Structure 1
Amino acid sequence: MADTVREIERKYEAGGDTGGAAGLPDLSGAPPVARVADRGTVELDAVYYDTADHRLAAAGITLRRRTGGSDAGWHVKLPVAPGVRDEFRAPLSAGVPRSLASLVRSRTRRAPLVPLIRLVSRRDVRHLFDEQGTLLAEASTDEVTATRLTGGEGSTAWTEVEVELAQGGDPALLDALEPHLRAAGLRPSKAPSKLARALAETGTHLPEPGSGRRPSSKDDAGRHVLAYVRDQVEAIAALDPGARRGTEDAVHQMRVATRRLRSAFRTFGKVLDRRVTDPLGEELKWLAGELGVDRDREVLVERLRDRLDELPRPLVRGPVRARLRIWSGRRRIETRRRLTAVLDGERYLALLDGLDALLADPPLRPAAARPAAPVLAKAVLGDYARLAARVEHALATDPGTGRDTALHDARKAAKRVRYAAEAAVPALGKPAKKFAREMKAVQSLLGDHQDSIMARTALAAIAAQAALAGESAFTFGLLYGREERQAERDERELPQVWERASQERWREGLSG
């Protein structure tokens, strides 16, 4: 697995009134900097790789092979926020390391990676320390020469100043230093990276995300729905590297994006032709299921640990926590291996291709050209009517397995209404936001009920394993009983939660 570094930096170039290049000023008097140390000059030689149609650059991603400096090797940089990137490193090798190629596969798919730009930099380095001698940041002046290797010809050169925080540094330092840099004739760079500047100055025009056919009107339903769909498609691709690495919450957020997208296809069937979106929806359902294998384990283990922490110590009998770790560890190894295989598989890549094709040539129906507000409001209220029928059915069903199933179906319907309302917020404003909040309350209650059912299934399995090992199963039985009571409380609370969420005023707000 590649090494990871969080990079927080700002780049500067000479301001328009300097008449030329501006170098790094003396920052020793800029609080909290107490001392500046000269670290000399290094020569850096980097070749940047991309697909022939610049998919990585269009997504703000860089992949390079660099020699020189203390971190020579292969680097992938993924955007996190403006001025913040996660850098993944691997040792020098002849070809792109597999560990890094997998991190950009949601962008590159099956396309080969080719050398795109060569950047040779002469870097004059300074280290900034505080009064305690702690390294705050590295500031450097880079004299850069860029040469085009693929897809064009030409070269360009410039000088820039870069200030990068030390690992764990306070981002407020960058704000404190900026007035001193501006006073020296520097201005924030217009380009987000050296590669972006090199491409721009050698004549490359990157494709704009979602540049396919769109509705003409700014306020029509098609524009709003496509903007929402585009956001979810981008989220899936952007979260892919984190899901592969097991980054906290990445699998969950990627699963949410797939579910939002599938819900949008069904909810807004009057806007996007379901003959085209339904096959994609089935593939999204498959992907959400595969992502859920790992996510469901995470949620379940967290719930069981919380429940265990609530118990008085005398009621925790036997190696309960160790048994839970063993059960969780085995499942984690299995689910991580399975998820990696899914994300490397042809079925997943074909789904991403299909989503891109839909955005490039959206299958718009007549309602797409109509004003957004009434079209989207009608779609949201249609989903609400479906939810209301499911809740009423669940409340009328006798307690037991039948009611559990009905409540689970209602939960899925509540999630769909919530997603629909959230998608409609740009067109409907606060009424849709309030309605989504009410639907989320219903979804959360029903979700807790379903989690309780899943927890009981897991507790029964773990208790059986403990018994076979000659351990006490008392605590697992106790937790099982508590989960039963929690489910009963959820069922008792549902009528009151639903009564509030189904008040007419929420729906009237959507309809204007």
Structure 2
Amino acid sequence: MKSVVSERKYELSLKARVPQLAGKGITQEAPAEHKLAADYYDTKDFQLARAGIALRRSSGTGWCLRLPFSAGTGQELRFPLGEDAKVPAPVATLVRAFTLDRKLRPVAQVRTDRFTHRLTDASGRTLATLADDHVTAEVLGGQELRLDRWRELDVELAPESAPELLARLDRSLRKRGAESAWWPSKLQRLLGDGTADARGSREALPAYLREHFERLRRADLGFRVGADDSVHQLRVAARKLRSALQTFKPLVGKKKAVAVAEELKWLGGELAPARDAEVSQARLESCLDDVPSELVFGPLRQYLTRDYARTSQTELARAAEALSSTRYVTLLRSIATLLDQTPPVRKKRLRKPMRKTARKLYRATAATEGLSGAELEKALHNVRKKAKRARYAADAVRPVFGKKLRAWRKNVKAVQQTLGKHQDSVVDREALRHFAIDGFSENQNTFTFGLLYGRDEAAASGLRDRFADEWRTLRKGKRPAWLKV
């Protein structure tokens, strides 16, 4: 069984006095000393440390997995010690996107002389714990011998404490000489630059691909620990990777890029229903909020909640099954290999894929002429997808072309967002039709569903008019000469 801890880490000089945080309802107790020893686990090439993740085993506290969320701030998941020193299966599963099923082994030993100060309120209830750690560490497992000593502070909130307390304690510690920890874990502090990413060029395209692969892996971790919005973040990262590979496949390696893009499409398809259910429920409940109470008949909100809860549970299980599959790990390995092999790309070579992507957007828009009804809705959805790919392509090359693409990208984004809302109305109307049919079969009054359907239909008409205006702006707007199509 895991427990979750919120904490913040700081650095402090070996000679400095421990900060005093008493005052304004907080009492800082005298320190209690503890002698701690922990073994840190990682892959042979330190994939966890590269990602700012630390896994340690201590006879006193069991297994601890530290996950970084932002500079100096992290979350710790703690697990029972177990019968042996083998990494527990639930822990290994959480970091699977980073280890890619490679073996986790002891890589360093850290000995800590810890002085803990309880921070309590007037009633003696623990609000947080300040740990003053004096650390000695060494690398294990045949690595180059490295010994080090340093000092750090950890502030750990009690489970029932308000998150705002962490920010308050942070201000107090900074006033007293503490600084945000440069390293996310003791292991990374010990290894130093040994965990730096040394995989070649930092040019636009390779950097963009690495960034979104990292986001995909972090969203995977978020999904496994139950973080909010993790399905959405997974889906977005997969979509951006796939889009970039499709756009720039001649520069990455066409055959490999196409193969990875197809697998990313599979992953997106496994994640989409869970995310779509979340979004659709939120939109429809918001629409209900805008309906006057005298026009709401029956327990519609409860009906939506019941239906979406059933759908959400099914689709989240589907997403979890996909992320547990061998196919998914194979995909992650393929992406990692592709990134290792992606060469530096000269500026001029980025222009042709950009022009091709823009041309597809313009052709898709031209194809909407003369259409109506369901055919027009389908064609506009295609324009939206082409606009999204063009926007992502502009994001990928932004460090290279900078201001020259800014206005064009802004106009493309406006088109994409308007058509995104239009597609939402299409999806909502289909859902409302489904709810009306089911509600009627259960002898419910479905008038309100029909009312919402009519509102969505009218909104879609307005969005099509807005798209027409935004498209004219895009056509006439500023862009580099080489992007003329």
Q: 2:169 aligned with 1:173, yes or no?
A: yes
2:134 counterpart of 1:160: no
Q: Within the alignment, does 1:492 sit opposite 2:465 as a pair?
A: yes
Query: Among residues 359, 365, 373, which one is paired with 1:385 in the alignment?
Result: 359
State whether residues 223 and 230 of structure 2, in contact with CA within 8 Å, keep that contact through their aligned partners in structure 1: yes
- Indicate whether 1:52 and 2:32 are aligned: no
How many angstroms does 1:105 deviate by? 0.4
Give the secondary-structure state (helix, strand or coil) at the position aligned to 1:144.
Answer: strand
1:464-508 CA-to-partner distances (Å, cap 9, x unmatched) read: 322232222222222222222222221222211111122242355
Shift of 1:460: 1.9
Q: CA shift at 1:308, angstroms?
A: 0.8
Q: Is the 8 A contact 2:219 2:234 kept in 1?
A: yes
Q: Is the 8 Å Cα contact of residues 53 and 184 (structure 2) preserved in structure 1?
A: no
What's 2:118 paired with? 127
1:313 to 293, 298, 307: 293
Q: 1:207 to 1:114 in 2, by over 3 A?
A: same
Does 2:410 correspond to 1:437? yes
1:208-287 alignment, distance < 5 Å: 208-209=196-197, 211-212=198-199, 214=201, 223-287=203-267
Give the distance between the partners of 2:406 and 2:125, measured in 1 at CA: 46
Shift of 1:389: 1.5
Equivalent AA in structure 2 for residue 485 of structure 1: A
Residue aligned with 1:233, SS: helix
Q: For residues 77 and 440 of structure 1, do their structure 2 counterparts lie closer, same or farther at Cα, with a shift above 3 Å needed? A: same
* Residue 55 of structure 2 corresponds to residue 81 of structure 1: no
Structure 1 residues 377 and 130, CA gap change in structure 2 (3 angstroms): farther
Alignment match of 1:107 (pick from 93, 98, 104): 98
Amino acid at match of 1:85: G
Cα distance, 1:427 vs structure 2: 1.0
1:119–1:328 Cα change, 3 Å? same
Aligned to 2:319: 339
SS of 2:107 mapped into structure 1: strand
Q: Please give the alpha-carbon distance, in whole angstroms, between the structure 2 residues aligned to 1:433 and 1:135.
A: 52
The code of the aligned residue for 1:100 comes to V
Q: 1:93 aligns to what SS in structure 2? A: coil
Partner of 1:418: 391
Separation in 2, partners of 1:212, 1:382: 29
Does the 8 A contact of 2:9 with 2:152 survive in 1?
A: no
Match of 1:198 among 190, 193, 200: 190
The residue type equivalent to 1:171 in the other structure is: A
Q: After superposition, what is the alpha-carbon deviation per residue over 1:372-424, rounded to whole angstroms, capped at 9, x for unaligned?
A: 1x443443233222111111221x13311211111111010010111111112
- Paired positions, count: 477
Judged with a 3 Å threshold, the aligned counterparts in structure 2 of structure 1 residues 424 and 47 are, in CA distance, closer, same or farther, namely same
CA distance in 2, matches of 1:141, 1:347: 45
Distance, in Å, in 1 between the alignment partners of 2:42 and 2:288 is: 49
- The equivalent of 1:11 in structure 2 is 11
Instruction: State the partner residue of 2:58.
Output: 66
Is this contact kept in 2: 1:24–1:161, CA < 8 A?
no
SS at the partner of 2:367?
helix
**Secondary structure in 2 matching 1:4:** strand
Contact 1:165 1:171 in 2 (8 A): no
CA RMSD after TM alignment: 2.7
Instruction: Determine if contact 1:12/1:188 at 8 Å carries over to the other structure.
Output: no
Provide the residue aligned with 2:275 in structure 1.
295
CA distance in 1, matches of 2:18, 2:111: 23
Letter in 1 for 2:71: P
Three-state SS of the structure 2 residue aligned to 1:247 is coil
Q: Is the 8 A contact 2:351 2:482 kept in 1?
A: no
Aligned equivalents of 1:25, 1:212: Cα separation in 2: 40
Q: Which residue of 1 aligns with 2:432?
A: 459
Q: For residue 18 of structure 2, what is the aligned residue in structure 1?
A: 25
Task: Tell me the distance in 1 between the aligned counterparts of 2:483 and 2:261.
Answer: 26
Paired with 2:168 and 2:483, the residues of 1 have a C-alpha distance of 42
Name the CA distance, whole Å, in 2 between partners of 1:447 and 1:153.
54
The answer to whether structure 1 residue 355 and structure 2 residue 351 are counterparts is no
In structure 1, distance between residues paired with 2:351 and 2:154: 48
The sequence identity of aligned pairs, in percent, is 34
**By how many angstroms is 1:130 displaced?**
7.4
Q: Offset at 1:53?
A: 2.4
Spell out, residue by residue over 1:171-200, the C-alpha distance to the aligned partner (whole angstroms, 9 max, x if none): 253244234236xxxx76654422223345
CA distance in 1, matches of 2:352, 2:25: 59
The CA distance in 2 between the partners of 1:193 and 1:89, in whole Å, is 15
Amino acid of the residue matched to residue 387 of structure 1?
L
* Residue aligned with 1:271, SS: helix
Q: Which moved more, 1:414-423 or 1:130-139?
A: 130-139
Aligned in 2, Cα 1:139/1:170: closer, same or farther, shift over 3 Å?
closer
